[in-house]
Structure 1
Amino acid sequence: MSSLRIMDSDPGKARRTADAVQRALEASGEVVVGNVSVVPNRRDCGARVFMEVLLLEAPAAPGNDDQEVTVERA
């Protein structure tokens, strides 16, 4: 799983940016957002926001694993 780190000296701006990024990622069908955590910066009053991002695998191409369904009508 990959992770993103968003940092800013203004904790409110860091959180708003992270919220916007999270909404954009969640709107995508290609990734899933995992744990999101906010950590205060050690050097100043800012904040760091970490979020895990999982890339979804593309659906498998049709092959021998596909199932066939037949519907018979009278």
Structure 2
Amino acid sequence: METPFDWVTVIIFAGMVVLFLQRSSMDEPPDSIWQYLPPAVGCALANYLGNEGYVVPAVAVLIAVGVYLIRVLHVRMPGA
């Protein structure tokens, strides 16, 4: 945990784990486990790119992960 990308991607991934556990305990889960794979891979890719010094592509991947979470997994933002 040396760079900001380490912290940001771990926080996003931890949030996805909590979301998955919360939704999987429902009687009829609204999504499948496979829908969590693209943002998980995106977090890993963004972390790798950020640690290698490719800041702009890493931020772009993190934005894409955020858009995926909102559009596909229907994550509501706090206060919305």
Which structure has the greater CA radius of gyration? 1
TM-score normalised by structure 2 residue count: 0.40
Between 1 and 2, higher relative CO (CA 8 Å, sep ≥ 6) is seen in 1
User: Which is richer in strand?
Assistant: 1
